[in-house]
Amino acid sequence: MTAPQVQAHVGGWLTLAGPTVDLCNPADTRETVAVLRSVETGVVADATARAAPASARWARTSPLARGEILRRAADHLVASGAEIAVAMTRETGKIIVESRAEVVRAADVLRFMAQSHRVDHGRTGPLPLENEIAWTVRMPLGTVAVITPWNFPLAIPAWKIAAALIHGNAVVFKPAELAPLSASALVRALLAGGLDPDLIALLPGDGAVIGPALVGSPDVAAVTFTGSTAVGRAIAADAAALGKRVQCEMGGRNAIIVMEDAELEPAMEAVLLAGFGTSGQRCTSASRVILQRGIAAQFTDALVHRVQALRVGPGLDEAVQVGPLVSAAQLRNVQQALSRAREEGAEMLCGGGVLGHGEFQHGHFMQPAVVRCAPDSWFTDHETFGPVVSVYEAADFDDAVRLNNVVPYGLSSSIYTRNLEHALRFVRETDTGMVHVNRPTVGAEAHLPFGGAKDSSFGPPELGAAAEFFTKHRTAHVRWGR
């Protein structure tokens, strides 16, 4: 089967010229899943120029009509869900059950955003005289640049783009280079829902070229980004220098704390799900586990046993629990981090090696790993972004919170306990934007804010707080008569 050519969308679908890059299946690199050509800066300029007048028309469109388009797009995603899920697994390596769930999540987000503008459109307030009144309205920003990662190539673009559109903005969309098929499926769903083609541009290709062109475009009013902390900081600095609004969701080194009074089996399931789901390639992954001393040895031994039993393999195999890493570069990064951890004295309790023989020889597979390391080590502060969990021992609740907060990131955290005081104190004392009690660190709810603290986030949170980023306030003062 011939691999599809990735197309850009600027007013219509474009077949690009120039050098090609073969995008390979992470589970079997002999299979090319797509052929990518990068858009050039001239195409980016054309996209942003088209978006400006389209956004002005869209801003005058009723939010209810905008929402109807999003609702129809959600229906289209669901109708094409099986095909989209297979393409997502082939381009990212994630297991098929996760890809199917992501299609459902993306559709749910579109449906939520379709209704969200009914809830908060402003407020009224009095003025000094009896024949005066004031009210506020939320106004669109204009054109928003959306830059997204490969690990959730449908859901993250969906929640950014839907939020931008429902609030009256146009979108220029730069998807991850490794996952253009999922991005294309989302754009096609929006167009099938009736969206004006000039309101959504898809710009696949080289982020080092496209990203700066978008940030620097005079037609772009704001930039929303999800990806690494290093790239996010650079985007934030460049956008701020130009006076542009910016939102960055970046890295995480999230922890699950397990106290001595916890129900241990649910805690174990949470560690396996949050630590090794999506092969550990989530910003909300639980890559650290902090165990109170009384259950530390028992829980660690059980964790090692459970991790060794995880089934690794191609994501399209329904029985597989851990798929490949997304690329050779990502596998190499994880291996280099583990090598440095060993040099620092970390103890490899299980796994960590590359799986390069037999059924694994053509993919980016590794053994899921459990590591014991010092809390003040480089590895503790480093976001590995792979199927690796590091374990730590805490003397008591206060020590566990200290270990949770010691890292530079602050996205998500969790505690397993039956002690109400510890649960409520943890909500207050953890230094993360999202807190979970007796739940894993992963997940996002469309109606609630999603965002972190410290090196994990910059700017307003996403999803349930989307209006704070994608709109500007306008206050109207009106007097009638004398």
* Residues with active-site annotation: 249, 283
| Nearest CA among 458, 464, 427 for reference residue 444 | 464
Determine the Cα–Cα distance for residues 115 and 324; give it in Å rounded to an integer: 37
Determine the Cα–Cα distance for residues 357 and 407; give it in Å rounded to an integer: 36
CA of 66: how far to CAs of 70, 129, 162, 219, in Å? 7, 37, 10, 22
Decide: helix, strand or coil at residue 322.
strand
Q: How many other CB atoms sit within 10 Å of the CB of residue 353? A: 13
Q: Go through the chain and tell me how many residues it has.
A: 482
Helices (H) and strands (E) in the chain, counts: 15, 26
Determine the Cα–Cα distance for residues 261 and 392; give it in Å rounded to an integer: 17
| Nearest CA among 94, 92, 97 for reference residue 327 | 92
Q: Are the C-beta atoms of residues 368 and 387 closer than 8 Å to each other?
A: yes
Q: Are the C-beta atoms of residues 44 and 172 closer than 8 Å to each other?
A: yes
